């Protein structure tokens, strides 16, 4: 397992790694760039409440091209978007229109149901742009699966940071390392960016029973096993995202729907097929049709 890791960039201590998940091409039709999928994986569907991780880009979008994720639905989860470079305009059926830029967090709670779209602004489409980012889905706990949908945006300067022996730690959501993000969550979790300016050792937060580290530039995830007080060692230049938390229980995932109940997913399929989700103001002409299979 260790032989598969890029030793020139990342060297986690032996015994910490339970599974290495490679990034694979996602079956998405997007102009000008590729999307890599990390979660769910055949040997590991979830890490704590995290059930989905897509890696967008990095990409150079030539003038005339842009991101066009047409209106589509979600239930039972929260989508969390975080960019390293570029800009995306979020619109949803609650009426929110919010550009997201590097370092910011867009947290959309689908709950009982929401529709949204993600596009490049007309200005950036005309001029050309870059795009690099991450979208994750967090499965909501049973008590919150059917909450009212909501949307929250957090500016980059409200997310807390600390440094530990040459490692910059930025708490995007949840808690760890003595930091607490202001992002509203529904279960105990950690979502943090770790940037290694020098060779560094970072103690893993003990309060979260499940953890994984996504190595952004290496395009692979390390699922961490029994840590037993061991430390995570990385070399200078490594950029990583730490995810994890407490499990929320088994979940069914079909297309954009997540639920503890198969019957609830079947209802969501019918609702989207029969146009019962609310429309998105200003983006209600196109939509992604329900797939025949997922």
Contacts of 10 (CB under 8 A, 6+ apart): 215, 218, 234, 235, 238, 240
Average pLDDT over residues 246-257: 97
Task: Please report, for the chain, the start and end positions of each structural domain, with discontinuous segments joined by +.
Answer: 8-273
Distance from C-alpha of 227 to C-alpha of 18, rounded to nearest angstrom: 10
Distance from C-alpha of 268 to C-alpha of 262, rounded to nearest angstrom: 10
Q: What is the pLDDT of residue 9?
A: 41
Distance from C-alpha of 38 to C-alpha of 15, rounded to nearest angstrom: 22
Average pLDDT over residues 43-71: 95
83-100 pLDDT, tens per residue? Answer: 999 999 999 999 999 999
194-205 pLDDT, tens per residue? Answer: 999 888 777 688
In terms of C-beta density within 10 A (0-12 exposed, 13-18 middle, 19 or more buried), how is residue 106 classed? Answer: buried
Scored b (16 or more CB within 10 A) or e, 236-269 reads eebbbbbbbbebbeebebebbbbbbeeebbebbb
214-235 pLDDT, tens per residue? Answer: 999 999 999 998 767 566 788 8
Distance from C-alpha of 158 to C-alpha of 172, rounded to nearest angstrom: 9
Q: What is the pLDDT of residue 10?
A: 44
CATH superfamily of 8-273: Jelly Rolls (2.60.120.10)
Q: Could you tell me which residue, 49 or 4, shows the higher pLDDT?
A: 49
| pLDDT reading at 13 higher than 80 | no
| Two tokens, residue 245 | 């938390």
């Amino acid at each position: 397992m260790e032989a598969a890791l890029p030793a020139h960039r990342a060297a986690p201590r032996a015994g910490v790694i339970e599974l290495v998940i490679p990034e694979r091409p996602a079956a998405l039709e997007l102009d000008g760039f590729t999307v890599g999928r990390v979660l769910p994986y055949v040997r590991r569907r979830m890490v704590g409440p995290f059930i989905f991780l897509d890696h967008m880009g990095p990409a150079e979008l030539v003038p005339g091209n842009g991101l066009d994720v047409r209106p589509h639905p979600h239930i039972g989860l929260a989508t969390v978007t975080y960019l390293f470079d570029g800009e995306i305009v979020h619109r949803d059926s609650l009426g929110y229109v919010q550009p997201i830029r590097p370092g910011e967090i867009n947290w959309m709670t689908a709950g009982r149901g929401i529709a949204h779209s993600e596009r490049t602004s007309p200005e950036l489409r005309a001029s050309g742009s870059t795009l690099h980012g991450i979208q994750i889905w967090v499965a909501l706990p049973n008590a919150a699966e059917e909450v009212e949908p909501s949307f929250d945006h957090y500016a980059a300067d409200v997310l807390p940071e600390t440094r530990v022996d040459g490692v910059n730690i930025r708490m995007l959501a949840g808690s760890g390392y003595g930091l607490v993000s202001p992002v509203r969550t529904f279960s105990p979790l950690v979502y943090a960016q770790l940037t290694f300016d020098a060779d560094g050792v970072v103690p893993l937060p003990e309060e979260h029973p499940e953890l994984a580290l996504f190595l952004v530039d290496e395009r692979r995830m390390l699922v961490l096993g029994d840590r037993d007080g061991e430390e995570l060692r990385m070399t200078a230049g490594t950029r990583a995202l730490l995810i994890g938390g407490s499990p929320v229980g088994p979940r069914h995932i079909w297309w954009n729907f997540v639920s503890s109940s198969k019957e609830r997913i079947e209802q969501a399929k019918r609702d989207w097929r029969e146009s019962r989700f609310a429309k998105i103001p200003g983006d209600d002409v196109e939509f992604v049709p329900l797939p025949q299979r997922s």
